[in-house]
Amino acid sequence: MKQQIPNVVTLLNLLLGCLAITAALQSQLLSVVTETGETEFYITESLVTASICIGLAAVVDFFDGFIARLLKVHSEMGKQLDSLSDVVSFGVAPSIIVYQFIRLSLAQQSHGLQASTAWLVPAFLLALAGAYRLARFNIDTEQTTYFKGIPVPAAGLVVAAFPLIQQYNTYTWVQVCLQNVWFWYGIIALLSTLMVSSWPMMAFKFSNYGWAANKGKYLFLAITVVLAIFLQWLAVPVLLLLYVALSLLFKPNV
């Protein structure tokens, strides 16, 4: 019975991923006519609900591993179940969020509502890249103190931050970016490439707490606090770039 406790927690991760997908699919494009007679489109707030579900799934994803270590009940089934859950929560669900943002971006364009479905298909490259990265991780015996490529939950959380950024960030340039289809294609290309790459990335596992061996990790944590205070949700994608930069800069220490 004790051995199944982490698996039950992992299934909660999967459940939250399913709820995130449901909320993202329920998001609708609504239109409003401005004072100048132009039609503007926006997405209903259920996309924010999807983001919250993905965030909760990330918390659960952390605790299933923590509980497994605490109870000393590691199993091959638990490892595979965790990966399957992560594909849904941090691969498929974020892909649907991007899918909806691409729909919004296309709707802003003349005749965009009649655009081909082919414009929307690239959103699912995130799910494909995530599945590939997780499969590679499961058969790789080297990723004990560092990651090869960014973890799939990290990519999923970056995408999950964008509905919150749209909802709570008032910078005009940010809103313009979020309604530009090429911005989203750039996000897809960046995150997919980072997931399937073999670049060594920091894993926040400490064999010791000395400065010399953990400079990149301590710098990242310190800057995270500062950026979170000043940029709020916008800090999430910025922190991804910082994470990659510090991982490559302090490569010998990862």
CATH assignment of the domain containing 32: 1.20.120
Identify the CA nearest to 65 among candidates 53, 55, 56, 75: 75
Residue 146 banded pLDDT, cuts 50, 70, 90: confident
What is the 3 state secondary structure string of 10-75?
Answer: HHHHHHHHHHHHHHHHHCCEEEEECCCCCEEEEECCHHHHHHHHHHHHHHHHHHHHHHHHHHCCCC
Mean pLDDT rounded to a whole number for the chain: 87
The per-residue pLDDT for 254 is 45
Residues in the chain: 254
The pLDDT tens digits for 59-104 are: 999 888 778 777 777 778 888 999 999 999 999 999 999 999 999 8
Give the domain range for residue 213: 204-254
Q: Which two tokens stand for residue 19?
A: 């709820």
Q: Which residue has the higher pLDDT, 58 or 31?
A: 58
Lowest mean pLDDT among 57-66, 79-88, 195-204, 211-220: 211-220
Tally of domains in the chain: 2
Instruction: Answer positive or negative: Cα dihedral of 142, 189, 84, 51.
Output: positive
Judge if 35 and 99 occupy the same domain: yes
Sorted by sequence, the CB contacts under 8 Å of residue 127 that are 6+ apart come out as: 87, 91, 92, 94, 95
Q: Which of 151, 179, 198 is the last residue of a domain?
A: 198
Say whether pLDDT at 171 is over 60. Answer: yes
Say whether pLDDT at 211 is over 90. Answer: no
The per-residue pLDDT for 21 is 97
Judge if 215 and 161 occupy the same domain: no
Judge if 231 and 170 occupy the same domain: no
Alpha carbon distances (Å) from 7 to 66, 119, 125? 12, 38, 28
**Euclidean distance between CA atoms 208 and 74, whole angstroms:** 24
Say whether pLDDT at 39 is over 90. Answer: no
Q: Which of 153, 171, 198 is the last residue of a domain?
A: 198
The per-residue pLDDT for 49 is 95
**Euclidean distance between CA atoms 92 and 127, whole angstroms:** 5
Q: Is 215 exposed, middle or buried (0-12, 13-18, 19+ CB in 10 A)?
A: middle
Judge if 113 and 166 occupy the same domain: yes
